[in-house]
Structure formats: C-alpha cells, structure tokens
Amino acid sequence: MAADEVKVLEEEILKKTKLVAMLAPCYVVDFDYPEVIGQLKELGFDKVVELTFGAKMVNLEYHKLLKKADKLVISATCAGIVDTIRREFPQYADNIARIYSPMVATAMICKKIYPEHKTVFVSPCNFKKLEAKSAPGGCVDMVVDAAELHALFDSHGITPKEVHRKHAFDKFYNDYTKIYPTAGGLSKTAHLKGVLKPEETLVVDGIAKLREFMKKPGQKIKFLDATFCVGACIGGPLLRKDITLAQKRKRVLAYVTRSLHEPIADAKRGIVKDAKGLKFSY
C-alpha cells in the first residue's frame, strides 16, 4: 500500500467511513488474538472478518473443478504463482484454475452483506496488493500490510489491550480453513478424498520448487497446490522477520486449536446461502 493510499485510508477513518477489515489467518504471525480486533475497532473499523468463509467457498469451487478435471490443475490462490506461471511458463497458463482467491471471495461476500462498507485487506505480501487492483468490481478497496498496520496503530496511540467478547470477529463461520496460510492449506481443507488419490496432489511452497517442477511436471500429478513463498503465506515478506518459520507455523496452529474451543459469534453465518448469487470462478 503506497504512502498516499495510507493517507486515503486515514482520511476514510477521519470521515468515519464504514470500513471492514479482512484478515487472513496468517495475521496471528504479527498480531495477538483477540486483541487485534479491539485495536482495529479502536482505529475506526466497523467490522472485522477473517477470510475463512471465503476460503470455504473457494474450496467448493476446487472440489467441483477437480472432480471433472482432465488435465493438471494449478491453484490460483497465490497471486505470485499465477504471475510466475503466466510469465515464465505460459504454455501452462490454461492450467491455472479460474477460481478467485479467498481474499477476493471474502471481499465479494463483504460487499454483499455489508454493501455500505469499504473493504481493507491486511496482506502478507505485495502480490496481494497487485491482485487487489484487478479484483472484480473493485471489491477490494484498499490493502495494508502488517508493518503499515502496526504504524497506523502506533500513530494513533493504539496498543494491544484485553478486549471484551463484543470484539469477536463479525464472522462468517468456517474456522477449519484457518490453516490455509500454511503450506498445503488448500488441499488439506478442500475435502479431496475420493476426488484425487494422495499421490495425485503435490504441495509446492517456494518459487524455486515451483520452477523445478514446472520444467518437468510429473505425469501423475493432477493438482498442484502451490505458493510463492516458502512456508506459504506465513512466509510472506511483509510479515515479521524476528521469528522463524517454524515459530510462525506454531502460532497459526495454536490459533487453530484455540478456535475449536470458542463459541461461534453467529452460528447462522458462514453457510453457503450467505454467498448466494455470487460467482467465485470465472
């Protein structure tokens, strides 16, 4: 997010524009839960959601696609992978799934449920910032990375503090997809048992591994679940660098475990009919 865009976001906050923050589960690498929800609300966000329900809707599209696929399918959840395939391996461009990412899917859902709100995504990488610019219907209004969000909190004197349950996510419930930002998160949560054999799916995290595979794709591989960064989104360059990848993964897994024991804010949210009328593939 360029400096002028940060200024635009601050102007929207000052104008008390209705804003919805969209967090990928990798946010726990940089921020504490649930304190960050309170911080975002204090900053001026009216709603705070995760990408988990959007990821579920994306998973349904992959499940349908892979059931009928007759050629290699390359995941399109990572904009870095999509960009690399199109530039370096254009002969496989048609193998890229024509399915939106959880960021875009969640933004589309937010625009339906919160039509008066502007959407702001908290990003782990610059590729998501580029992807947001081409999101259908301009559904992603703004993007801020973790460092920029920390700076915004600091400039407004907002520090983590114990928060009341009223600051729980304004959530679309599907917390099993919280592992999405780890390597293989898509294939692990898309319920592909019975659709593909285990040996027909390959998880690749890191652009070097992708390039190695694409030079000679395995004939048995029907689904390539790939991410540009080693470790997937938790390895994103715009997240903190003072802890190891293993420690980042541990934070996400602990977050997943914790969520299993928490009450659902609104059990009626996060069901397929909430996304009725929206298309997550193109």
Average pLDDT over residues 17-23: 98
Q: How far is CA 216 from CA 54, 92, 201, 269, in A?
A: 33, 12, 15, 44
Average pLDDT over residues 52-60: 95
pLDDT at 273 over 50: yes
The pLDDT assigned to 146 comes to: 92
Query: What are the φ/ψ torsions at residue 124 (nearest 5 degrees)?
Result: -90, -5
Look up the pTM and report it.
Answer: 0.94
Query: What are the φ/ψ torsions at residue 72 (nearest 5 degrees)?
Result: -55, 130
Q: How many CB atoms lie within 10 A of CB 65?
A: 17
Query: Which residue did the predictor score with more confidence, 268 or 246?
Result: 246
237 vs 126: CA distance, rounded Å: 8
Q: How far is CA 202 from the centre of its chain?
A: 20
What would the pLDDT profile of 206-228 be if each residue is shown by its tens digit?
Answer: 999 999 999 988 789 999 999 99
Please, what is the end-to-end C-alpha distance for the chain in angstroms? 27
The pLDDT assigned to 80 comes to: 98
Give the rounded percent of residues in the chain with a pLDDT score beyond 90.
83
Average pLDDT over residues 40-52: 95
The pLDDT assigned to 162 comes to: 67
pLDDT at 266 over 60: no
The pLDDT assigned to 24 comes to: 95
What would the pLDDT profile of 141-183 be if each residue is shown by its tens digit?
Answer: 999 999 999 999 999 999 987 655 556 888 777 788 999 999 9
Average pLDDT over residues 67-82: 97
> Are 178 and 49 in contact, with CB atoms under 8 Å apart?
no
- Which amino acid belongs to residue 201? T
- Which amino acid belongs to residue 156? H
The pLDDT assigned to 259 comes to: 82
262 vs 41: CA distance, rounded Å: 20
The pLDDT assigned to 1 comes to: 44
Q: Determine the angle formed by the axes of helices 79-88 and 207-215, rounding to 10 degrees.
A: 40
Q: How far is CA 2 from the centre of its chain?
A: 20
